Chains A and B, each alone.
Chain A
Amino acid sequence: ETGVTQSPTHLIKTRGQQVTLRCSSQSGHNTVSWYQQALGQGPQFIFQYYREEENGRGNFPPRFSGLQFPNYSSELNVNALELDDSALYLCASSSFQSYRPYGYTFGSGTRLTVV
């Protein structure tokens, strides 16, 4: 059973640029969630995708957008990067079957630095 894979592991971008982060979910999982984690803070929920549709969103502006593909992999896109977007971005996959929740499996994250 493969885990959650994120790419790239590290990224440096300039303020105002756009970035795309990628996530391959664990085999058999149909739900992907994205989190932003600043240093010393808990992961903050960005949004969640279930079967290619966004079905939950946290308190993040529209310049944060995402996609989920038929194979349940996912992308997080951030436009017009700001310095405060510098953080660790975590992807987590899970499986919702018969309304019974399971634990989330996290990837190792992408460390984004905006300069």
Chain B
Amino acid sequence: QQPVQSPQAVILREGEDAVINCSSSKALYSVHWYRQKHGEAPVFLMILLKGGEQKGHDKISASFNEKKQQSSLYLTASQLSYSGTYFCGTVRGKLIFGQGTELSVKP
């Protein structure tokens, strides 16, 4: 079952914040987050393993609520380099990706 991401697209000005949500209809054991720039391979950002766990990567952080089967990715003080498509991935023996959220950061 593919996780569902929202929103599908976000346009930001440099320095603004954004939140990307990921939800699943099935129990989650872990959630992955990846970023893919146009024409490139997806790049691993972080993995969350426990309920309520939060992690950070530079000014990008994420939370994971296993009871609600949801994860959120927080992008703080966005930079031009944050532009790309963000995918969450849920793992039940195999990594299944959501449909992606396209993030565009403008100067």
Q: What residues of B have a CB within 8 angstroms of the CB of A33 in the complex?
A: 94-95
Residues of chain A from 73 to 115 with CB closer than 8 A to chain B in the complex: 90, 92, 101-109
- Cβ-defined contact, A42 with B87, below 8 A: yes
Number of inter-chain CB pairs below 8 Å:
54
Report the contact-size class of chain B (Cβ under 8 Å from the partner): 20 to 34
Q: What residues of A have a CB within 8 angstroms of the CB of B96 in the complex?
A: 45
Also in contact, A108 and B41, with CB within 8 A (given A42-B87, A103-B32): yes
- Report the bound CA distance from A33 to B94 in whole Å: 8
- Cβ-defined contact, A42 with B98, below 8 A: yes
- Cβ-defined contact, B99 with A106, below 8 A: no
Q: What residues of B have a CB within 8 angstroms of the CB of A41 in the complex?
A: 99-100
A14 proximal to B (CB < 8 A): no
Which of B41, B47, B91, B97 contacts A42, CB < 8 Å?
A: B97
Instruction: Known A-B contacts: A43-B42, A45-B97. Give 11 more (CB < 8 A).
Output: A33-B95, A42-B87, A43-B87, A43-B97, A44-B97, A45-B96, A56-B93, A56-B94, A101-B47, A104-B34, A106-B44
Q: Could you list which residues of chain B lie within 8 angstroms of chain A, going by C-beta atoms?
A: 2, 30, 32, 34, 40-44, 46-47, 49, 87, 89, 91, 93-100
28 A-B residue pairs with Cβ-Cβ distance under 8 Å, sorted by A, are: A33-B95, A35-B97, A41-B100, A42-B99, A43-B42, A43-B97, A44-B97, A45-B96, A45-B97, A55-B93, A56-B93, A90-B41, A90-B42, A92-B95, A101-B47, A101-B91, A103-B32, A104-B32, A104-B34, A104-B42, A104-B44, A105-B44, A106-B34, A106-B42, A106-B43, A106-B44, A108-B40, A109-B41
